[in-house]
């Protein structure tokens, strides 16, 4: 059947989108095919990047009728009506994930016995036995063109966004990639913009203008190909913090900067003694924690994301991380991050804030990190809005060059495909195809091929409804070459054989040796024992498949989350967090009859220790990076207690109000939670805040005493409320801070930098957090006569808020204070003065870690910084009753910490953030274990 008169190929017209102008075979290659004796038939199209006349000149026949062709090639999915029986069709079918919207097309393929070849699955096949049978890199891939088009178009978006922010920049003269006739013309436009930057510069407020490009694959190469057309300088990730804070010179205004962010800049091992390994991270992502939000995102103007990611990995940037970065930059009035170009287009994936895709005609929107809204107006939210660009068909914008690449990739296979002759009596096998096409053949002769037989199983999953009767749910993550090895079929068979059901929550399919597939499913069982049996059988499959795959990315199985959906009447309490403050609450509730507790934490071992095998407590692994999982967990509890860092409370509270579950936290009421109050009342949801010692018990005592004064017809002219949780005096002398941390050391350090405001003798006093420690004043021995150590008090945040709360407008003095043993504030002030409470190293700390600076000179400089910082704070306050500076105490503490040549100095060399290094020291040396603690409180009225 390979006689030349039968050799033919057809090119079908694209109908899915008017933006799809690409073609699988360009006219130049048509000419070569015709010279080989292959007839090429082309359906006419007014959209195609190459006109019909170009194909006719190359020797093709332009015709509506493709029935004479045995093989028909398109770009995107063809319509069911145009699917001719018993032909070979090549296209991006978008069926390999059993996408529901394309199942009618697959049904027609099977019914009409079409041989379907999907470009997405055409990969290298190695003949080297040592490499196994796993696929290599994709042969028909458009990553470079996505990178090129995405960057060109995003430069246009930058120009428009910056203009809306009242900046006229050279970027305004860029257009979207599709607006240029070809890539060369688009590049010329970028070069012209570069010349304008060199001549006029960029606004000083925006400089240094830094692009962070993730990954080093095809997408990243395409991005860099465009950026390097501008006047630019490539920098290392390690230099970002210093560069970002540098004084802006004229040279810096006349160029852009870019860095390439690879995996070691995205995550770091949880175990500080462990070295980073990309291969280990890919196999064991749970051993790593994210750092991109700390070492990259705060310092760059633009993030261009183009690296591989799957659901088992740490997110590049979570909603909460982006919110924190933008909020901090807004507070400091140092706006840096302007936009994010997510070329991977993974919805709520590596960039969790990607809430919607853009399109070629509407390529941009503004994202609000606070409300998580997407706004079309590019002038929206000038103080915090982030420009987003995330179009999932970017290569179509460079239709000419993409088509040429497309055609080059397919050219070697076309003569073989041309031998297919339409014949109803001949079966269309796939074993006569080249190996690369065999692996890409989804269906033939009315059946799915072995490599893609899993699609039918996935369809059943998509169409099945989860069982309501099964009460035990376990989330299971399968990762590896699930579909190549057919391990997925074995896994699903096991689940069904044990009469369990399942639901796919999320998944991605890897197509190469180095890109494993991941499948997150929810296993529904009737009992914990039944679920455990299934897990054991799945682990057997995992081990067996690992042996088959040998040195390649192995199939792995992990239990991600566990919780029981009980139908009992016992109240179910979800405790988020397993830190120091969690233990008393867990013990209290566990001893109460009738409570069922779930401890959810990103530190499973800590949660297990808190549970202590008590029958009414279960634990689970949870991070705040996947809010879908968090939401599902909240749905199965009655009350949620958030003991997480304060930045997470608002999002948890918002979910509780939305779902109708009560929310409790000991932290202050934030503005975001306050906004939820009306909706919470409407839905009968309690939002309980400020129920610790301070804030909490101090409020109740204050209200009680104020009510007592009112009942005696008294008038309050002065109000003092001091509170502090301190170690017992006999335990306080183990460190120069005279303190033990019963909660996060970093939280204490950050709180010590909070601004304060209070009323004194009718005058409003405001204190910058930077000088808060200089406000400390000694507490008279008559206040706490039984305390053997002297105490001091410092202002606690904004006391004036409580004038209305306590209904004491007549009070001339209103001061809420924090109690500490005398000397604490001197030590904390010393840490502040030398820069240890900052997120980046100042010049002094940089000299400390150099190693070749005279140590005595450094000590003298530190003493001078401490004294001058204290004196400046005193002058601002003009209060002669405050304590005098005691630099000796501060210097003793710095020596004890090892700032000049000890442990802290070494940590500062290895850690970018000084406050993180200090918190690490305090975590290990100044934390409570089992020791006596006292709470002191004092309220005074006149």
Q: Is the pLDDT of residue 548 over 50?
A: no
| Residue 762 and residue 634 share a domain | no
| Residue 382 and residue 408 share a domain | no
| Residue 309 and residue 263 share a domain | yes
| Residue 418 and residue 456 share a domain | yes
Q: Is the pLDDT of residue 565 over 60?
A: no
**716 vs 814: CA distance, rounded Å:** 10
Mean pLDDT of 405-419: 94
SS3 501: strand
From the CB of residue 48, how many other CB atoms can be counted at a distance below 10 Å? 22
| Residue 417 and residue 384 share a domain | no
Residue 486: the pLDDT is 63
Domain limit, last residue, from 371, 392, 413: 392
Mean pLDDT of 462-480: 61
What is the band of 535 on the pLDDT scale with cuts at 50, 70, 90? confident
Catalytic site includes residue 694: yes
| CATH number for position 873 | 3.30.360
Single out the residue of 146, 200, 156 nearest to residue 176, CA to CA. Answer: 156
Is residue 604 included in any domain, yes or no? yes
Q: How far is CA 467 from the centre of its chain?
A: 32
Beta bridge partners of residue 619, listed in sequence order: 599
Is residue 707 included in any domain, yes or no? no
Domain limit, last residue, from 392, 412, 435: 392
Q: Tell me the CB-side half-sphere exposure of residue 155, using CA atoms within 13 A.
A: 29
| Residue 770 and residue 624 share a domain | no
Q: Is the pLDDT of residue 564 over 60?
A: no
Q: Which two tokens stand for residue 106?
A: 């697959």
| Residue 226 and residue 337 share a domain | yes
Share of the chain above pLDDT 90, in %: 41
- Is the pTM above the cut of 0.95? no
CB 329 within 8 A of CB 354: no
For 486-520, give one letter per residue: b (16+ CB within 10 A) or e. ebbbbbbebbeeeebbbbebbbbbbbbbebbbbbb
Beta bridge partners of residue 815, listed in sequence order: 720
Q: Which two tokens stand for residue 285?
A: 């992502």
Start-to-end C-alpha separation, the chain? 107
The predicted-structure confidence for 802-827, as pLDDT tens digits, reads as follows: 898 889 999 999 999 989 988 888 89
Q: Is the pLDDT of residue 153 over 90?
A: yes
The predicted-structure confidence for 272-284, as pLDDT tens digits, reads as follows: 889 999 888 887 7
The predicted-structure confidence for 383-393, as pLDDT tens digits, reads as follows: 889 999 999 89
Is residue 1 included in any domain, yes or no? no
| Residue 167 and residue 316 share a domain | yes
Indicate the number of domains in the chain: 5
**701 vs 812: CA distance, rounded Å:** 20
Is residue 77 included in any domain, yes or no? yes
**447 vs 111: CA distance, rounded Å:** 9
The predicted-structure confidence for 50-86, as pLDDT tens digits, reads as follows: 999 999 999 999 999 999 999 999 999 999 999 999 9
CB 47 within 8 A of CB 106: no
Beta bridge partners of residue 795, listed in sequence order: 817
The predicted-structure confidence for 157-189, as pLDDT tens digits, reads as follows: 999 999 999 999 999 999 999 999 999 999 999
Residue 867: the pLDDT is 86
| Residue 802 and residue 842 share a domain | yes
| Residue 472 and residue 432 share a domain | no
Mean pLDDT of 495-502: 79
Is residue 37 included in any domain, yes or no? yes
| CATH number for position 84 | 3.40.50.720
Q: Which two tokens stand for residue 181?
A: 């006739």
From the CB of residue 478, how many other CB atoms can be counted at a distance below 10 Å? 23
| Residue 157 and residue 283 share a domain | yes
Highest mean pLDDT: which of 116-130, 509-523, 695-709? 695-709
Host H or E run for residue 871: helix 855-877
Would you say the C-alpha torsion 541, 542, 546, 547 has a positive or negative sign?
negative
From the CB of residue 928, how many other CB atoms can be counted at a distance below 10 Å? 16
Residue 134: the pLDDT is 46
Is residue 191 included in any domain, yes or no? yes
Peptide bond connecting 515 to the previous residue in cis, omega within 30 degrees of 0: no
Q: Is the pLDDT of residue 603 over 60?
A: yes
| CATH number for position 497 | 3.30.70.2690
Burial (CB count <10 Å: 0-12, 13-18, 19+), residue 15: middle
Q: Is the pLDDT of residue 832 over 70?
A: yes
More confident residue, 790 or 875: 790
For 552-562, give one letter per residue: b (16+ CB within 10 A) or e. bbbbbbbbbbb
Q: Which two tokens stand for residue 740?
A: 């033990």
Q: Is the pLDDT of residue 605 over 90?
A: no
CB 317 within 8 A of CB 297: yes
CB 928 within 8 A of CB 580: yes
Q: Is the pLDDT of residue 869 over 80?
A: yes
Q: Is the pLDDT of residue 193 over 90?
A: yes
Dihedrals phi, psi of 796, to nearest 5 degrees: -115, 100
Q: Is the pLDDT of residue 1 over 50?
A: no
Is residue 342 included in any domain, yes or no? yes
* 3-state DSSP helix/strand/coil % of the chain, to nearest 5: 40, 20, 40
Q: Is the pLDDT of residue 270 over 90?
A: no
- Catalytic residue (choose from 319, 484, 694, 698): 694
Domain limit, last residue, from 441, 460, 479: 460
Q: Is the pLDDT of residue 330 over 50?
A: yes
Q: Which two tokens stand for residue 432?
A: 């006569």
For 631-665, give one letter per residue: b (16+ CB within 10 A) or e. ebbbebbebbbbbbbeebbbbbbbbbbebebbbbb
What is the residue range of 330's domain? 142-392
| Residue 409 and residue 384 share a domain | no
Instruction: List, in order, residues 6 or more apart from 930 with CB less than 8 Å away.
Output: none
Would you say the C-alpha torsion 118, 119, 123, 124 has a positive or negative sign?
positive
**862 vs 629: CA distance, rounded Å:** 48
How would you classify the pairing of strands 115-118 and 88-91? parallel
- Mean pLDDT check: name the lowest of 541-550, 605-614, 623-632, 753-762: 541-550
Mean pLDDT of 668-693: 90
């Amino acid at each position: 059947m390979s006689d030349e008169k039968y050799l033919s190929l057809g090119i079908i017209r694209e109908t899915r989108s008017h933006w799809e102008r690409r073609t699988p075979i360009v006219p130049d290659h048509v000419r070569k095919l015709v010279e080989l004796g292959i007839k090429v038939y082309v359906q006419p199209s007014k959209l195609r990047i190459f006109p019909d006349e170009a194909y006719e000149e190359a020797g093709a026949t332009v015709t509506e009728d493709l029935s004479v062709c045995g093989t028909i090639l398109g770009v995107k999915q063809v319509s069911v009506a145009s699917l001719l029986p018993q032909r070979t069709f090549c296209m991006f079918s978008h069926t390999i994930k059993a996408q529901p919207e394309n199942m009618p097309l697959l049904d027609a393929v099977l019914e009409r016995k079409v041989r379907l070849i999907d470009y997405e699955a055409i990969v290298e096949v190695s003949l080297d036995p040592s490499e196994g049978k796993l696929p290599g890199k994709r042969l028909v891939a458009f990553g470079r063109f996505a990178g090129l088009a995405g960057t060109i178009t995003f430069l246009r978006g930058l120009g428009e966004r910056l203009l809306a922010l009242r900046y006229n920049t050279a970027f305004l003269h860029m257009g979207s990639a599709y607006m240029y006739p070809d890539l060369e013309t688009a590049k010329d436009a970028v070069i012209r913009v570069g010349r304008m930057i060199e001549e006029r510069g960029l606004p000083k407020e925006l400089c240094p203008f830094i692009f962070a490009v993730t990954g080093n694959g095809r997408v990243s190469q395409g991005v860099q190909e465009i950026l390097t057309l501008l006047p630019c300088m490539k920098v290392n990730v390690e230099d970002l913090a210093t560069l970002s804070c540098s004084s802006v010179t004229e040279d810096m205004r006349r160029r852009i900067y870019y860095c390439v962010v690879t995996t070691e800049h995205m995550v770091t091992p949880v175990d500080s003694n462990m070295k980073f390994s990309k291969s280990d991270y890919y196999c064991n992502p749970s051993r790593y924690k994210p750092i991109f939000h700390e070492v990259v995102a705060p310092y760059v103007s633009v993030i261009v994301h183009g690296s591989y990611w799957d659901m088992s990995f740490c997110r590049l940037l979570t909603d909460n991380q982006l919110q924190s970065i933008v909020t901090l930059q807004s507070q400091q009035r140092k706006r840096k991050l302007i936009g994010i170009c997510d070329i991977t287009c993974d919805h709520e994936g590596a960039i969790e804030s990607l809430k919607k895709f853009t399109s070629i005609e509407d390529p941009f929107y503004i994202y609000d990190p606070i409300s998580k809204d997407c706004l079309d107006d590019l002038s929206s939210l000038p103080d915090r809005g982030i420009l987003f660009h995330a179009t999932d068909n970017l290569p179509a914008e460079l239709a000419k060059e993409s088509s040429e690449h497309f055609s080059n990739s397919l050219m070697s296979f076309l003569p073989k495909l041309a031998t297919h002759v339409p014949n109803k009596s001949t079966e269309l096998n796939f074993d006569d195809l080249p190996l690369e096409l065999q692996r890409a053949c989804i269906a033939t002769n009315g059946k799915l091929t072995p490599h893609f037989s899993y699609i039918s199983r996935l369809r059943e999953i998509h169409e099945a409804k989860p069982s309501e009767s099964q009460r035990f749910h376990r989330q299971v993550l399968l990762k590896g070459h699930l579909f190549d090895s057919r391990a997925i079929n074995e896994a699903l068979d096991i689940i069904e054989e044990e009469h369990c059901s399942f639901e796919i929550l999320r998944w991605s399919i890897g197509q190469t040796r180095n890109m494993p597939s991941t499948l997150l499913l929810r296993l529904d069982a009737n009992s914990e024992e039944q679920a455990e049996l299934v897990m054991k059988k799945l682990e057997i499959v995992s081990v067996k498949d690992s042996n088959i795959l040998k040195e390649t990315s192995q199939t792995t199985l992990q239990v991600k989350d566990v919780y029981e959906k009980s139908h009992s009447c016992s109240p179910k309490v979800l405790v988020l967090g397993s830190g120091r403050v969690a233990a008393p609450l867990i013990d209290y509730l566990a001893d109460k009859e009738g409570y069922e507790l779930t401890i959810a934490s990103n530190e499973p071992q800590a949660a297990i220790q808190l549970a202590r095998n008590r029958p009414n407590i279960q634990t689970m692994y949870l991070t705040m990076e996947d809010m879908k999982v968090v939401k599902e967990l909240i749905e199965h509890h009655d009350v949620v207690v958030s003991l997480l860092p304060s930045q997470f409370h608002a999002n948890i509270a918002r979910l509780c109000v939305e779902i109708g579950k009560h929310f409790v936290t000991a932290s202050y009421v934030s503005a975001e939670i306050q906004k939820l109050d009306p909706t919470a009342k409407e839905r009968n949801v309690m939002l309980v805040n400020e129920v610790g010692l301070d804030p909490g018990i101090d409020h109740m005592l204050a209200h009680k005493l104020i009510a007592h004064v009112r009942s005696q017809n008294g008038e309050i002219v002065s109000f003092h409320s001091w509170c502090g949780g301190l170690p017992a005096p006999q335990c306080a002398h183990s460190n120069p801070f005279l303190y033990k941390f019963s909660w996060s050391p970093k939280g204490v350090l950050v709180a010590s930098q909070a601004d304060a405001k209070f009323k004194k003798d009718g005058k409003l006093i405001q204190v910058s957090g930077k000088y808060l420690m200089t406000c400390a004043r000694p507490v008279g021995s008559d206040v706490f006569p039984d305390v053997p150590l002297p105490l001091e008090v410092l202002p606690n945040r904004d006391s004036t808020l409580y004038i209305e709360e306590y209904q004491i407008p007549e009070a001339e003095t209103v001061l809420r204070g924090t109690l500490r043993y005398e000397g604490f504030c001197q030590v904390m002030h010393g840490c502040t003065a030398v820069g240890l409470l900052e997120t980046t190293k100042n010049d002094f700390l940089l000299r400390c870690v150099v190693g070749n600076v005279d140590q005595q000179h450094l000590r003298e400089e530190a003493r001078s910084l401490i004294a001058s910082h204290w004196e400046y704070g005193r002058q601002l306050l003009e209060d002669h009753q405050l304590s005098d500076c005691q630099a000796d105490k501060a210097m003793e503490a710095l020596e004890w910490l090892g700032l000049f040549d000890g442990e802290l100095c070494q940590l500062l060399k290895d850690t970018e953030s000084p406050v993180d290094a200090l918190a690490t020291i305090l975590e290990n040396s100044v934390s409570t274990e089992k020791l006596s603690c006292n709470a002191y409180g004092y309220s005074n009225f006149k």
